[in-house]
A and B are shown apart, each in its own frame.
Chain A
Amino acid sequence: MSQALIELVKQSFPDAVLESHSQLGDDTLVLAPGRWKEVCRFLKDHEQSSMNMLIDLTAVDFPNREPRFEVVAHLYSLDRGHRLRLKTRVGDRDGETVELDTIADLWGSANWLERECYDLFGVTFVGHPDLRRILLYPEFDGHPLRKDYPAERIQPLLQYRDEPNINKVAPFGPDEGMPFGRQTHKFGIEGEDDHLAPRPRVITPADN
């Protein structure tokens, strides 16, 4: 559609562009992984492209290829109305070291999109401020959207988490996070005068 964009990137980064096509009207560029962030920044800031929106960032797993994962980003320019698909190929056959520079400092949307990509594919984004799982729980074993993760696999059962201050986080703790102000009354038959307890006792977790 807009060949101009492809031409612009090819001229500015001739050695970063590995392939390009415009099948079905979608302009696509395949970049070398080392130049990923540079080209993204260029596309965002350059006046002719002004890609101010990162629409989507995801990955596709090709287990028979080396490099194995293809990270795909869709960029859009609100001002100019043109789109571009950027792809780059990372990762070894086993899926052990899959690394790519983060673009979370360029577009805020990349923060959660890269977290999702890490969660489901295991792509590590170097420099990401908070790279942890987003859709799955932290103890999940494996990366489910990889082709070698069988869909029928059952995850092991886990113990409840041992979080610090879990008792202060409602509704688990007995005092809802407020350590003062609670009175306890013991209505014993022995007839102790403890309903007039002189001062409130602080119930600590150690007492339970």
Chain B
Amino acid sequence: MEPLDQDLDASELELPTEPMLLNVGPAHPAMHGTVRIVMELSGEVIERCDVQVGYLHRGFEKMCERGNWTQVFPYADRLNYVSPMLNNVGFSLACEKLLGVTVPERCQWYRMILGEMARISDHLTCDGAMAMELGAFTPFLWMIKCREMVWEVMEEETGARMTHSFGRIGGMAAPPTDGFKDHVRAVVAHIMQVLGEVERLLLGNRIFLDRLENVGVISAEDAISLGWTGPCLRAAGVPYDVRKAHPYMKYGEVDFDVPVGTNSDSFDRFMVRIAEMRQSARIIEQCLERMPDSGPVNVDDPRIILPPKNEVYNTIEGTIQHFKIVMEGVKLPAGEVYGYTEAGNGEFGFYLVSDGSGTPYRVRIRPPCFLVTAGLERVITGQMMADVVPSFGSLNMIGGECDR
């Protein structure tokens, strides 16, 4: 500010006439997973912006071409790293589509339960972070604590909290543990309770509602044209969910609704996720009832599944099977396939090109939040600077998935 003893008329203040360039990110607390937005501001209003992604580009698609098919699973984990099980399951399903095998029923229920738990963990993170960025720190901590409980279930089942590489072509790496069902029931019940508390805390708060309602609006046509899928598209009013439109595994046999928004603003995106968490809990409950407690988890094909360790050590056939699968990799037949599932952010697809050897020829990951982030320009242009944070948060861009 100019000093108060200044004679304003006599001073030579030079007021700028060009718009101000503001650089938000990439190292910014509110830029989820490193994104740079170069904005031209006129006062507080964003005239133009350029969203620059790619800071987390690790070259997954290239690295997949250097191993075998099973070695893609750790990469798949690190795509949408807040819901890694959904990525694992998505990749397994794409490979199994190319192979032409279907996993046993028990495995399908198991995958669904773990997948929906991962989806809950994804939405908890997104909504919790959104709340925190608006200043509501308490619900963030509650939701993160719930996410910890989900991760404890994952650790119990897979051995790792987050990036567990648990999926396999033709099944899962290990069968469910004994206490799996009880553990999941307890955790889901607690999460639903916490969700209720979060809603009571946030949804009556004037500031929270004002900052989210009618902020970051995008029309349904724009969203469809931009290729949006998942909660962001559903908040725009389009009821497209891969689980309902093209059911896979046992999603056609369980009851659940698809929450759809009306205003297509940040608030709707927030609420769609809360509602989806409740639907996921519903799915989990039905799957828990119907999942058999015994039975094989892996498909019975020695060309793709590793034998149990005691067979590897004691029989020549087990040794040979283990040797061939580990040294040469699972050999997917030559061809191409597009396998898609509903991940935390929308339609998560794998376009696989195989040449018949054990090495993938091309693994294309169709990242839902890449296209959602492409729409960020349209969402925040014309909004005020302060609206960027909740709008961007509501899109749930995960750097790992967007940039690969």
A residues whose Cβ falls under 8 Å from a Cβ of B: 23-24, 26, 28, 52-56, 58, 60-61, 72, 74, 78, 81, 83, 85, 107-109, 111-113, 116, 120, 133-137, 144-145, 149, 151, 165, 168-170, 177-181, 183, 199-200, 202
Provide the residues of chain A in CB contact with B1, threshold 8 Å. 181
Task: Using A74-B349, A74-B351, A136-B57 as known contacts, say yes or no to A60 and B361 having CB atoms under 8 A apart.
Answer: yes
Distance between Cα atoms of A183 and B2 in the complex (Å): 8
Say whether B193 faces chain A, with CB atoms less than 8 Å apart: no
Q: Which of A24, A83, A168, A199 contacts B337 (CB 8 A)?
A: A24
Provide the residues of chain A in CB contact with B245, threshold 8 Å. 81
Distance between Cα atoms of A47 and B228 in the complex (Å): 22
**Per-residue A-contact encoding for B7-21, CB less than 8 Å = 1, 0 else:** 000011111100011
Say whether B53 faces chain A, with CB atoms less than 8 Å apart: yes
Check B54–A55 contact: CB distance below 8 A. no
Q: Which of A23, A55, A177 contacts B20 (CB 8 A)?
A: A177
Say whether B240 faces chain A, with CB atoms less than 8 Å apart: yes
A130 to chain B, nearest CB (A): 9
- Closest A residue, CB atoms, query B221: A52
Q: Which of A83, A108, A168, A199 contacts B226 (CB 8 A)?
A: A108
Check B374–A109 contact: CB distance below 8 A. yes
Check A112–B371 contact: CB distance below 8 A. yes
A206 to chain B, nearest CB (A): 15
Check B2–A177 contact: CB distance below 8 A. no
Query: What size tier do the contact residues of chain B reach?
Result: 35 or more
Q: Considering the complex, which residues of chain B in the window 35-92 have a beta carbon less than 8 Å from any beta carbon of chain A?
A: 52-54, 57, 59, 61-63, 66
Distance between Cα atoms of A178 and B349 in the complex (Å): 47
Q: Considering the complex, which residues of chain B in the window 315-329 have a beta carbon less than 8 Å from any beta carbon of chain A?
A: none
Q: Report whether over half of chain B's contact residues are helix, strand or loop; otherwise say mixed.
A: mixed
User: Which one, B101-109, B135-143, B362-370, is touching chain A?
Assistant: B362-370
- Between A and B, 26 residue pairs with Cβ closer than 8 Å are A23-B336, A24-B335, A55-B227, A55-B347, A60-B362, A74-B338, A78-B238, A83-B338, A107-B226, A107-B227, A108-B225, A112-B370, A112-B374, A134-B52, A135-B57, A135-B403, A145-B62, A149-B62, A151-B63, A151-B66, A165-B21, A169-B22, A177-B16, A178-B16, A199-B6, A199-B12
